[in-house]
Amino acid sequence: MSTDSTTTDAAATKSADPRFAGLPGRPGKIIAVHLSYASRADQRGRRPASPSYFFKPSSSVAATGSTIERPADTELLAFEGEIALVIGTPARRVSLETAWSHVGWVTAANDFGVYDLRAADKGSNVRSKGRDGYTPIGAQLIDATSVDPATLRLRTWVNGALVQDDTSAGLIFPLAQFVADLSQHFTLEPGDVILTGTPAGSSVVVAGDVVEIEVDAPTAPGAPSSGRLRTTVVQGEHGFDAALGSLPAVDDKQREDAWGTREAAGLEPAFALTPELRAKLEKAPVAGLSAQLRKRGLNNVLIDGVQPMHPDAKLIGTAKTLRFVPGREDLFTSHGGGYNPQKQAFDAVRNGEVIVIEARGDATAGTLGDILAIRAHAAGAAGIVTDGAVRDFDAVSAVGIPVFSKGAHPAVLGRRHVAWDHDITIGCGGAAVQPGDVIVGDRDGVIVIPPPLVEEVVDATLAQEDKDAWIAERVAEGNRIEGLFPMNAQWAARYAQENGR
């Protein structure tokens, strides 16, 4: 390793074990961050309010030039290029302002994981990421005092192709926050490692692939670099014994997460409201859509009791859900303040989505106000539906975003509600709503359409609208309703003749 002021050769304290050649020695603790980059959070469709962590064993560490085994009977081994912080001096209850001074070195790391093994450990990642060789670190240590932690660059190559390229400026939380936060709970000791999360671009690798990761500070004097951390994937021969523990299991959600996108995983694209489909829904009244869903056995798809803030506005989008639980003082104290799920949902809403809020039909407190409405509008949200009330009603109306609610109420959220969770199945106005469901609203109300049925239902609705318009013309001419609505064989034949059907 270089011994200049920007990279540190800690040979004097190194372990003789070659696995730890990229570190001062064997780390006592390796703490990894679950989700930390904005690009990755946007890819996953959720942003954490605060960092969350898991431990990796030091036996998982490997040096540059090592190989990593993909276990037999698994398919989803994924790389994650990361910036690794190596603690230089003990840190216990340190402030955010002083936290960086406890970091001795910065280097590159690869937080490999087998998605086939994730489900059984529910976020601890013990088996999926704790395997031998699953934490390559190195190749060189960068002196942390020589770099600005906000200007570090992280790049990853697979078989020579650049697949990740982000900087520490893209983190949701600054690097020093991880040190300060963790030091609240236990002492960070010299040699401990913090893996600070991965940006978008993480994906699946197979036997024969070569993954290289580099961390550098291109704007710092001398442009210090970790060098490239190189790992080659090989196929393992050993599987798992069902008598001892859970077996690997995958589904399409795991495949999408591991590959990064559904398309990369070779899956059918997720449902999307195309411009053509949206144009059809613009023409389709909610009453007509309701009738067609009823014909298909779906009666409980109407969000009851809500009225449009702008009666002439049409609401069309896919659901992003938010759930409130009944207000309770202690729960509001512990969960209602700060960056709570309500604010998280409004921050994470995407273009074309409708925020649908479960407030249990309780309209005796507001469920949103003007600031949140402005945020949703600025993010391109298609609208908001709540079976509760709206606070700052006139100000929200002035924002212009379509809003359906049970009316206005001046009280703040905490009077009746605690924001509890988002992006889950909820009940709004008596209707079950799942993330991604299609939401359509007009003066008649709001309806929920399961995505697989949208094309069929809207086409049938528009065809029925054409037929109903023709029937209305006949009734206006003085014809009796009997036999015309619905049409008997005679009227049906005339309709077909006049309309080329």
- Residue 260 labeled ligand binder: no
Cross-strand bridge partners of residue 321:
356
Cα–Cα nearest to 49, from 419, 318, 426, 433: 419
Query: Other C-beta atoms within 10 Å of 42: how many?
Result: 13
Q: Is 43 helix (H, G, I), strand (E, B) or coil?
A: helix
Residue 320 to residue 85: CA distance in whole angstroms: 36
370 annotated binding-site participant: yes
**Residue 478 assigned ligand-binding role:** no
Residue 391 marked as a ligand binder: yes
Beta bridge partners of 447: 302, 440
The residues, ordered by sequence, that sit 6+ positions from 33 with a Cβ below 8 Å of its Cβ are 51, 52, 53, 178, 194, 195, 196, 197
Where would I find the beta strands (DSSP E) of 227-350? 229-235, 302-303, 307-308, 315-326
**Would you say 371 is a known binding-site residue?**
yes
User: What are 329's two structure tokens?
Assistant: 């003082």
Q: What is the DSSP letter of 268?
A: P
CA gap 68, 209 in Å, rounded: 10
Rounded Cα gap, residues 437 and 288, in angstroms: 18
List C-alpha distances in Å: 313 to 152, 283, 288.
47, 12, 17
**444 carries a ligand binding annotation:** no
- Numbered residues of the known binding site for Mg(2+): 392
- Numbered residues of the known binding site: 369-372, 391-392
- Numbered residues of the known binding site for substrate: 369-372, 391
